Amino acid sequence: MSLADLLGPSPEWMANAACAEVDPDLHFPSGEHGPANMRQIWQAKAVCASCPVMGQCREYGMTEPHGVWGGLSAGERREIRAREIDHQHELARHAAVQLDHEYGRAA
């Protein structure tokens, strides 16, 4: 059974997934802590490192709460999403300050 088998109907790029040839459980450790889980995550990442569709997989998996997708663990994806949200908030604050600066002076 492959990752594609587990997920059901899937994007075309999954047909080229390197993990289609390995045990799908490899990419879904039971947690993110402890030597056994860390070893499993690194083994999954080693498969991802040679995957021709890693970019598509990373984008697709960014909102997946579990497993290794596109060479990133669930915790790494959470950190990236949190940084992106912080960045969006910073951009919004900057835009608000600029609007206030421009229109505040005009009023």
Binding stretches for ligand SF4 (CB under 6 A) = 3, 17-19, 27, 47-48, 51, 53-54, 57, 68-71
CB of 50 to ligand SF4, least distance (A): 8
Residue ranges of alpha helices (H) inside 8-73 are 35-49, 54-61
In the bound state with ligand SF4, the residue whose beta carbon lies nearer, of 16 and 98, is: 16
In the bound state with ligand SF4, the residue whose beta carbon lies nearer, of 27 and 77, is: 27
Under 8 Å CB-to-CB from 51, ≥6 apart: which residues?
16, 17, 18, 19, 57, 71
The continuous run of DSSP H or E covering 90 comes out as helix 74-106
In the bound state with ligand SF4, the residue whose beta carbon lies nearer, of 55 and 93, is: 55
Pair of tokens at residue 11: 């994007």
CB of 75 to ligand SF4, least distance (A): 15
